[in-house]
Chains A and B, each alone.
Chain A
Amino acid sequence: MHFEPQQLKVFTALMHERSVGRAAVELRTSASNVRRIWASLEEELGESLFDASERGHAAPTKAAERLEREITSLLTEVRRFEDSVRSIHRTGRVLRLGADRNVFNTSHFGHLFNTLRHDPRFRISFVEVSSSEGRSSLEAGACDLLFAIEGTPGRRFETRDLPSLPLDVACMRRPEDETDIGAATLAEWNWALATFSSPSLARDTLRKIQRCGGGSGQMCSQHEFLRWAEGFSSPISDAVVCIRPVSFRRLPRVSFHPLNVEASYPLHVSYLRQHPFEFLETIVQQMDRALKDSTHGSRSAQS
């Protein structure tokens, strides 16, 4: 014998309303659906539950009265289950944002977090996910949203572009009354591009800057860049084109200036298509809008 919660709900509605039509209204479903579930319940039990008259009135049999008496404790437990789910929803589900360490350390990401953190539907936690294991951690459910420079290909994932990460120039010497650094200024310097994520993407970006007249630059890893900025001896000399990290122990003489070249690192967000959280798509749109507004704002402030 086997009862489904849905069958029991239909049964209690029928017991209460004593009519298929009214029970259907009560459950916000069709009368034929109610009749179907009633029939399946009778089949399960092997006993008739209601004597149906022509006018839609359903009179409970002895078996139905017994079932109603016995059912209450199960319904209480089912309700308790639903209540605990609802209470988890009320206090906020945990939304795990996964990203590479370098992505976390950008003002872009900080902005993104601040647009989300007032939402009552979830509480946010961060998971550090290196770029090689992004795919598996999404599949495993270790993180719900994955932010990465490269998107996550795969049929099971939904990947969206976010406004890209703007590039800055970190330099040892402060250029005189210049806030933006253009390609021409860069060409005079001995500079390097911090790779940030995958080298192939960085190579493309390097080529793009060079094509815009930025002279010839080298490549260095994010780690090398940070060591340079923190004052350790390293082969890089004048300036580094980079995504500005939010926090690190840098020398006071290092200053950051926006790079005035059409080049940037893209940012993607990915999540499982079949994720149980139904709101992921809307918050991704929300993040996209918030970031667009902020980049517009900063660009207008620059000009």
Chain B
Amino acid sequence: MDLDLPSLETFVQLAACGSFSETARAQGISQPAVSLRIAKLESAVGLRLFIRKPDGIELTRDGNQLVTVARQVLQEHESLCARMNHFLRESRGIVRACLDSSMAGNLLAAHVEDFELEKGSVEVVRPTSVTTWDRALLEQQVDFVVTCSFLHAGSITGLRRFDLETQRGITIAWNRSYFDFDIAGFNFPEALRSTIIVPSERLIPGYRPFLEKWCMDSYGVLPPDVLSFDDEEMARDACSVGLGVMVVPGDAEARLELEGSGLGVVKTFEFLLPDAYSYSIFLRVEERNQLVLRTALRLSEVFRRLFQTKTARTTNGKKIEAEDSKPV
């Protein structure tokens, strides 16, 4: 039996979506090529896998039985590739780091050569929509991850975490010409009467579910609409054009460089959420590769240096703080 993986992939994809044209698009091949691959696989296994119906296709019973095994074959193949890539990186002295798309991550990505060791080189990848960063790390697709997290969302067995920085509370920012919130007597539920802009689950894991639960439990309402952003800079821009009220964890005024942008800024819940936001390096628990560990260490030094210059720049900005509007 001559199996080939491309046919198997097409088979699994076609079984999942049930449309030749969609499969062709997903695989980047033409529609006849999809039929050809299926025909090839069918003749290799000597079974009919699909019945073509006028309104689409349907798996036969044999096809149904095989598709689960085929999926497993592909999964194993993928993880084999990840492990072999990991091995090759190790033997060639390459460290692959996943930097999140926050502004700090962007800044770090621009300073790769600062934390690159003499012996090795660093490859920077950004989070994709395909796999989440924790999965990518556990499956050895990357060697370490630098990301924000909220309330220990990334504390997973198998991962070690080193906080580069923690920040307390939640920052609320808005465009002053659209919303006339009273900064001195700011009332949090007021913000919930309009669209809010929040970082997405991919940018700050654990934050959005927390916020929704918090709003529901403490105020009994959800905001009418939630815009979530994968990119901090994009969120800030959306806020400054007045799409909504930005509600982000931590000391966002400094982090997002909000002063001078003319936005109204309030920091709140500092006592209820101490150290809720953290910016950390995640490593696999079993990581023994000295190169990876030392690169991560170097990165933390670079981060500290970059960040200290930044805060020095921004401390002269006026900080406005509001009372926690309501205890939980």
A interface with B by C-beta (< 8 Å): 1-6, 45-47, 62-63, 66-67, 70-71, 73-74, 76-78, 80-82, 84-85, 88-89, 93-94, 139-142, 144, 274, 276-278
Q: Given the complex of chains A and B, what is the CA–CA distance between A276 and B62 in angstroms?
A: 13
CB-nearest residue of chain B to A279: B46
- Is the pair B2, A6 in contact by a Cβ cutoff of 8 Å? yes
For A88, the chain B residues whose CB sits under 8 A away are 47, 62, 65
B135 interface hit (Cβ, 8 Å): no
Q: Given the complex of chains A and B, what is the CA–CA distance between A5 and B41 in angstroms?
A: 14
- Is the pair B85, A1 in contact by a Cβ cutoff of 8 Å? yes
Contact count A vs B, C-beta below 8 Å: 100
A-B contact pairs, 11 of them (CB 8 A): A6-B2, A6-B4, A47-B88, A66-B84, A85-B46, A88-B62, A94-B60, A140-B51, A141-B60, A276-B43, A277-B48
- Is the pair A5, B72 in contact by a Cβ cutoff of 8 Å? no
Interface size on B, residues (CB 8 A): 37
B285 interface hit (Cβ, 8 Å): no
- Is the pair B66, A70 in contact by a Cβ cutoff of 8 Å? no
When A74-B77, A278-B46 are in contact, do A84 and B65 touch as well, CB less than 8 Å?
yes
Nearest CB of B to A12, in Å: 13
- Is the pair B69, A81 in contact by a Cβ cutoff of 8 Å? yes
B50 interface hit (Cβ, 8 Å): yes
When A77-B72, A274-B43, A276-B45 are in contact, do A85 and B66 touch as well, CB less than 8 Å?
yes
For B91, the chain A residues whose CB sits under 8 A away are 47, 62-63
CB-nearest residue of chain A to B1: A82
Q: Given the complex of chains A and B, what is the CA–CA distance between A85 and B39 in angstroms?
A: 16
For B62, the chain A residues whose CB sits under 8 A away are 88, 93-94
CB-nearest residue of chain A to B74: A77
Interface string of B217-261 (1 = CB under 8 A from A): 000000000000000000000000000000000000000000000
For B50, the chain A residues whose CB sits under 8 A away are 141
Contact among A94, A140, A276 with B46 in the assembled complex (CB-CB below 8 Å)? A276
Known pairs A4-B5, A66-B84, A141-B52 / 6 extra A-B pairs, C-beta < 8 Å? A1-B85, A3-B81, A4-B4, A63-B87, A80-B72, A144-B48
- Is the pair B51, A3 in contact by a Cβ cutoff of 8 Å? no
For A277, the chain B residues whose CB sits under 8 A away are 46, 48
